[in-house]
Structure 1
C-alpha cells in the first residue's frame, strides 16, 4: 500500500505532545509494511533538509520525507482567506507545491491528513478531482488531534486579550470549525485521540467511518521507581507551554492553586518548553512556583516529585504527559475534565476531582501518605503497561485503510 502522509513539520527532535503523536503514528505506520512518503515543513530546531522550499530526506525506516522551509511565514495573510492562520502558514513555504507535484506525478492508495491545520490539502484534492482527476482516487484519512471546533471556540471565548485580538481569535476558531467539518465530511476515515472525541464527531457526521487511536508510549520506563520520604513534597506539571491554550490553562490553574499549595508547604514545579517572556511574566506573578523551563531530559524531574498534575480546564483530548507520569511510576492528580483515555479509577489508581479547589485539598491530604502514593502509581503502571504500544496503533491504522478498499 502506497501512502502519502501530510503533517505539520518533521517531528524530530520531539518537544511537544502534538509531535509525539505524529511521530509515533508515522513510525508505527511505516513499521506496518506500507510504502510511506511524508510531506511537511522541516524542523526549525534541527533541520534535516537544505532549508529551501523543497528538499528530500530518507530516515532510518526508509520513509521518504519531502520537506519545505524550516521556518513558517506569518499568519496575517490568512485574514484575507478562508483558512485559519495555522493552515495558511503550513501550506506555504513548499508543502502545497510538493503535494500538487506528488498528485500529478505519482499514484497513491491513501492520502493521510495529519491535523486539521493540514486541511488545506483537502481543497487541493478536490481541485485535482474536479479538473484533472487523481488516478485512481486515493482514500482520504483525517488524523484528528483535538476536536478543533470545541477547543478553538472555547479558547476564543475565554481569552483575556484585547478586543481586536479576541475578535481575530473567534474568527480563526470559526475557520477551524469549518475546515474540520469539511474534513469530517470529505474523508473516508476519521481517527480521533479518545472515544469521547469520536462520539463528538459522530453527533454531526453519523455515517462517517471512525477509528480511535489513543497515543502509544516509547519513552523511558522506570518499573522499579517508588515514592519515598526522601522525595521532596513536590508536585510537577510537565509539557510544552507554547500554544495559547496551554498558557491559558496554566494561568487558570496557578490563580487557584499556587497560593494554597505554597501555604501547605508543597512545592509546585513547572517543567517544559515555553516562551522566555511568558515564563518571566508568570514567575513574577507567582513567585512561589518553581519554573524550570526547557530541559534536555524530563526524567530527573519526574523521578523527584510525589505527584504529576493534569489540570487543563480548557479543551479535551488525551494529554501525552499522562503516559510520561505513568511510566515513570509517578502518581497522577488531575481534574476529571482533563483526564481522558486512561483506564484508571479514582482514588485507587489516580486522584481525580471535579474542580481545582477540591484537587488542591486532595493533594494536601495525600502528599504525605507514602503507602497510598505507591499504591496509586503501582496500580496505574500495571494497568497501563501493555495498553499503550505504538506498534498496535500503526497496525490498526493500516488495517483500517486497507478495509476501505474491500
Structure 2
C-alpha cells in the first residue's frame, strides 16, 4: 500500500502536535512507502534537524511555503467577508492543493493520510482513494470551548462563528474517511455518538521514554515552577496569562523566593510582558525543554481551553516531575488526582496544590514515581506505533471496512 501524506506543517518530535504527527508518520513509513506534502513555515534549524532522519526515509518530500504569519489578521478579516472559515483556509493555501494534484497525477497511491479533518475539509480529495485522518483534537470542540470562556465580545463572536462553520465540515470529513484516529477514548465516544457509522479509533498521544528520561541526579533548583508549551497556541497563551493574574501573586506572597519559568516557542507580546513580574522568566523558543523540566519542582498546566490530550503532561511525568493541572488540562489521560498528579480547577485550589508540592518533597517524589510508571505502561510512542502498524498491516483500509472499534491500547 502506497500512501500520500498531507500535513499542514513539518512534523517534528520537538514540539506539541508536531510530535504526534512525527511518530504516527514514522509508524506508517516503517510499513509502507510514504510520500509527504507538508507546509513549511520556515522552521528553526534544530526542528529541521530533528525530523531529518524521518524525512530521509520517505519516498518523496514536497514542502509548500505557508502564508506569511504577519498577514494572518488580514486573512482572517478577508475570510469573514467571504463567509469562509479561517481555521480551514489557513491549513489549505492554494499551493497545497496544487502539490496534491501534481502528486496524484504523477504517481499511483492506494490511500491518502491527512493530518487533521480541517486540512482534509479544505482540500479536493478523490473519492476513489481511502482517506485516513489523524486528529489531534476535535477542532469544533476547541472553538466552542473558546467561545464559552472568552470575555472579549469580538473574540467570542469570532470563535462562535468559526464553530458554526467548522463543525459540519469537520464531521462530514470524519464521516467520509475510511478511518479517523483520535487521541482519547472520550473523543472516540463523542464522534461515535454524532457519527454512528464512522470508523473511529484511538491512537493516544505518547512520549519518547528514552528522550524524556528522569535526570540521573537531582537537578531541582530551589522552589521553581515551570510551564512548557507552544505559546503561539491560544489555549497555552490564555493559560499562562490566567495563572499570572490569578495564582502567581498568591504563590509569591506565600513563598517570596519561588521562581516561575515560562518555556515555549514564539511567545506573543502579552506573554513576554510577564517577564516584568518578580520571579518570572520567559525563555522564548528553546532547542530542548528537558533541562528546564529537570530543574522544575512543580510543572503547572493551568489550561481552561482545550481538546485532545496534553503532551506536556506526559513529558513532565516521564521526567519524574510533579504536576498540577486543571481537570480539563489532564482530560483524556488515564491519570488519577493524588496518585499521578494533582488536579485543581479554581485559582485558590490551584494555588494550594502548588504550595503543597513545593513544601513537601516526599509528596512530589511519590507523584513523580507513579507518573513515570504510568507513561511506561501506557504512553510510550513505541507501543502506540506497534499497535497502529499491526492494524494497518491487515489492509482493511483498502477494503474500506471499519478499521477500529474502541481503543488501540
Q: TM-score, normalised by structure 2?
A: 0.85
Q: Deviations over 1:210-249 (max 9, x none)?
A: 1111122226233455658x63111211111102222122
Distance change (3 Å), C-alpha of 1:108 and 1:82? farther
Q: Deviations over 1:174-194 (max 9, x none)?
A: 222222111122112111111
Q: Give the match for residue 403 of structure 1.
A: 396
Distance change (3 Å), C-alpha of 1:224 and 1:283? closer
Are the equivalent residues in 2 in contact too, given 1:191–1:210 (CA < 8 A)? yes
Are the equivalent residues in 2 in contact too, given 1:116–1:176 (CA < 8 A)? no
Are the equivalent residues in 2 in contact too, given 1:227–1:373 (CA < 8 A)? no
Are the equivalent residues in 1 in contact too, given 2:14–2:288 (CA < 8 A)? no
Q: Which residues in structure 2 correspond to 1:198-217 (within 5 Å)?
A: 198-217=188-207
Q: Give the match for residue 283 of structure 2.
A: 292
Measure, in 1, the Cα distance between the counterparts of 2:2 and 2:380. 24
Q: Structure 1 residue 149: deviation in Å?
A: 1.2
Q: Structure 1 residue 152: deviation in Å?
A: 0.6
Are the equivalent residues in 1 in contact too, given 2:85–2:165 (CA < 8 A)? yes
Distance change (3 Å), C-alpha of 1:353 and 1:280? closer
Unpaired runs of at least 5, structure 2: 47-52, 402-409
Q: Give the match for residue 68 of structure 1.
A: 64
Q: Structure 1 residue 143: deviation in Å?
A: 1.2
Are the equivalent residues in 2 in contact too, given 1:42–1:68 (CA < 8 A)? yes
Q: Structure 1 residue 278: deviation in Å?
A: 2.4
Q: Give the match for residue 230 of structure 2.
A: 240
Q: Give the match for residue 268 of structure 1.
A: 260
Q: Give the match for residue 38 of structure 2.
A: 40
Q: Which residues in structure 2 correspond to 1:111-190 (within 5 Å)?
A: 111-121=112-122, 124-125=124-125, 128-129=126-127, 137-161=128-152, 163=154, 165-190=155-180
Distance change (3 Å), C-alpha of 1:215 and 1:269? same
Q: Give the match for residue 376 of structure 2.
A: 385
Unpaired runs of at least 5, structure 1: 49-56, 130-136
Are the equivalent residues in 2 in contact too, given 1:227–1:306 (CA < 8 A)? no
Distance change (3 Å), C-alpha of 1:58 and 1:222? closer
Q: Structure 1 residue 276: deviation in Å?
A: 4.8
Q: Structure 1 residue 333: deviation in Å?
A: 1.4
Q: Give the match for residue 339 of structure 1.
A: 330
Measure, in 2, the Cα distance between the counterparts of 1:389 and 1:85. 34
1:10 aligns with 2:15: no
Are the equivalent residues in 1 in contact too, given 2:207–2:375 (CA < 8 A)? no
Q: Give the match for residue 24 of structure 1.
A: 23
Structure with greater proportional helix content: 2
Distance change (3 Å), C-alpha of 1:58 and 1:291? closer
Distance change (3 Å), C-alpha of 1:94 and 1:309? same
Measure, in 2, the Cα distance between the counterparts of 1:311 and 1:332. 10
Distance change (3 Å), C-alpha of 1:151 and 1:89? closer
Measure, in 1, the Cα distance between the counterparts of 2:118 and 2:242. 26
Q: Structure 1 residue 315: deviation in Å?
A: 1.8
Q: Give the match for residue 51 of structure 1.
A: none
Q: TM-score, normalised by structure 1?
A: 0.85
Q: Deviations over 1:41-80 (max 9, x none)?
A: 12412489xxxxxxxx992223421221154464244335
* Count of aligned pairs: 383
Q: Structure 1 residue 96: deviation in Å?
A: 0.3
Q: Give the match for residue 111 of structure 2.
A: 110
Q: Give the match for residue 282 of structure 1.
A: 274
Measure, in 2, the Cα distance between the counterparts of 1:206 and 1:30. 30
Q: Deviations over 1:98-126 (max 9, x none)?
A: 112233333322211211330335x512x
Q: Structure 1 residue 204: deviation in Å?
A: 0.7
Greater shift in the superposed pair: 202-211 or 111-120: 111-120
Q: Deviations over 1:297-340 (max 9, x none)?
A: 21221111111112211123211111221121111111222103
Where 1:249 maps in the other structure, the secondary structure is: helix
> Which of these residues, 351, 356, 361, is aligned with residue 352 of structure 2?
361
Are the equivalent residues in 2 in contact too, given 1:318–1:341 (CA < 8 A)? yes
Distance change (3 Å), C-alpha of 1:146 and 1:372? same
Q: Deviations over 1:152-172 (max 9, x none)?
A: 122134334453x54333322
Q: Structure 1 residue 398: deviation in Å?
A: 4.1
Q: Structure 1 residue 287: deviation in Å?
A: 4.2
Q: Give the match for residue 53 of structure 1.
A: none
